[in-house]
């Protein structure tokens, strides 16, 4: 019998990224959707013909007997809906960033323990075919011990949300989004570079600035330096670029791997190898094929208590690094990273 789910927040990501992945998975049935924009009912009726539409999450949780809730709202609403769902005895799948406040993080952690339910954040970039190949090459030790990682993301402007235009976009409101380009793309980079480095950074140095969009309240550019025990990672994100692009460079003591959007180039003692993919990292923003793997990860945590909480601790680390980046930028200096439970 399929696992029953509901979606709270039915914007572009939910409709164009999550729903196609759910429809492709016979083990999932989305039976209800909630969104504060009444016009999204038409989209629900078109994409999910048997799904009931609600304007109130409280009403949905009271009336619908579902196993999990997919929270795809703007970030400032994540924590309230996660806590409501956990209190109602539902598992939770949530878009990034998981939360914006350390108090909410600890409350969710306690509620997970109390309810026995799991909370999984959408870490879908891990499941990009290109980055999966990179991770596999690193696990095989093809370039030896990692010494330096460079992770660069260039966009020409911020993404626009459902029902918004460039002048009233929730992604540009720090009280809703929690930050600018650092939150938008940094979160994904954090769990990836930590996985490749094999640990969390000990120290962080960050600079947030506006290079193009001077009239917005969040940064359009972020430069980050992570210092690990045996290496470092430089991360750069911007909405102020001239083109849309993603590049990654990983240097080890026996070679290097470079990702140029749709191509991996690996050099080591055995020679040079190139692998080209049909779609680059910068292509689109919904990635329903990546999301299918997120669903499988979520179902595994729901059904296997040995896995429950694994993703949450990774998300807590990402949030902790965001806070340390912002602290470093405000102080204009490098800061030592404390554990998320103590920070």
What pLDDT was estimated at residue 336? 97
Does 54 share its domain with 130? Answer: no
Same domain, 136 and 96: no
Reported as a single tens digit per residue, the pLDDT across 258-298 is: 999 999 999 999 999 999 999 888 876 667 889 999 999 99
Stretch 251-260: mean pLDDT, rounded?
97
In terms of domains, do 270 and 203 share one?
yes
Q: Give pLDDT tens digits for 213-237.
A: 999 999 999 999 999 999 999 999 9
- Residue 190 or 1, more confident: 190
Mean pLDDT in residue range 107-119 = 96
219 shares a domain with 82: no
CA angle 107, 108, 113 (to 5 degrees): 100
Cα angle for residues 265, 266, 267 (degrees, 5° grid): 125
Once rounded to an integer, what is the mean pLDDT over residues 48-56? 95
Question: Phi and psi dihedrals of 283, rounded to 5?
Answer: -80, 110
Which percentage of the chain shows pLDDT scores above 70? 96
| Rounded mean pLDDT, 203-219 | 96
In the predicted structure, residue 323 carries a pLDDT above the cut 70: yes
**What's residue 285's pLDDT?**
64
- 173: containing domain: 126-284+318-336
| Chain centroid, CA 267 distance in Å | 30
CATH number of the CATH domain containing 327: 3.30.360.10
* Structural domain count, the chain: 2
Q: Say what the pLDDT of residue 235 is.
A: 98
CA dist., res. 269 & res. 341, Å (int): 43
Q: Rounded to an integer, what distance in angstroms lies between the CA atom of residue 231 and that of residue 147?
A: 4
In the chain, what percentage of residues exceed pLDDT 90?
89
The residue-averaged pLDDT of 239-245 equals: 94
């Amino acid at each position: 019998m399929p696992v029953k789910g509901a979606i709270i927040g039915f914007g572009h990501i939910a409709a164009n990224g999550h729903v196609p992945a759910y429809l492709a998975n016979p083990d999932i049935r989305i039976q209800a959707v909630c969104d504060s924009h009444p016009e999204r009912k038409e989209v629900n009726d078109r994409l999910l013909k048997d799904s009931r539409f609600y304007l109130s999450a409280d009403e949905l949780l009271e009336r619908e007997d579902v196993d999990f809730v997919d929270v795809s709202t703007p970030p400032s609403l994540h924590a309230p809906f996660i806590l409501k769902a956990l209190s109602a005895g539902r598992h939770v799948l949530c878009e990034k960033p998981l939360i914006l406040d350390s108090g909410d993080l600890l409350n969710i952690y306690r509620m997970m323990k109390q309810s026995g339910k799991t909370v999984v954040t959408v870490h879908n970039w891990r499941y990009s075919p290109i980055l999966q190949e990179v991770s596999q090459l690193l696990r095989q030790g093809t370039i030896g011990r990692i010494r330096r990682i460079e992770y660069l993301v260039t966009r020409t402007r911020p993404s626009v949300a459902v029902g918004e235009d460039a002048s009233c976009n929730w992604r540009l409101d720090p009280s809703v989004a929690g930050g600018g380009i650092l939150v938008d793309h940094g979160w994904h980079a954090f769990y990836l570079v930590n996985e490749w480095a094999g640990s969390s950074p000990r120290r962080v140095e960050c600079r947030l600035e506006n290079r193009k969009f001077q009239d917005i309240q969040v940064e359009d550019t972020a430069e980050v330096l992570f210092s690990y025990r045996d290496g470092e990672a430089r991360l750069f994100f911007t909405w102020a670029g001239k083109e849309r692009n993603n590049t990654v460079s990983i240097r080890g003591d026996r070679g290097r791997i470079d990702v140029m959007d749709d191509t991996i180039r690996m050099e080591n003692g055995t020679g040079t190898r190139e692998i080209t993919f049909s779609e680059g990292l910068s292509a689109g923003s919904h990635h329903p094929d990546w999301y299918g793997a997120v669903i499988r990860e979520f179902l595994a945590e729901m059904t296997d208590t040995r896995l429950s909480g694994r993703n949450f601790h990774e998300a807590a680390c990402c949030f902790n690094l965001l806070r340390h980046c912002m602290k470093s930028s405000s102080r204009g200096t490098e800061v030592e990273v404390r554990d998320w439970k103590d920070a």
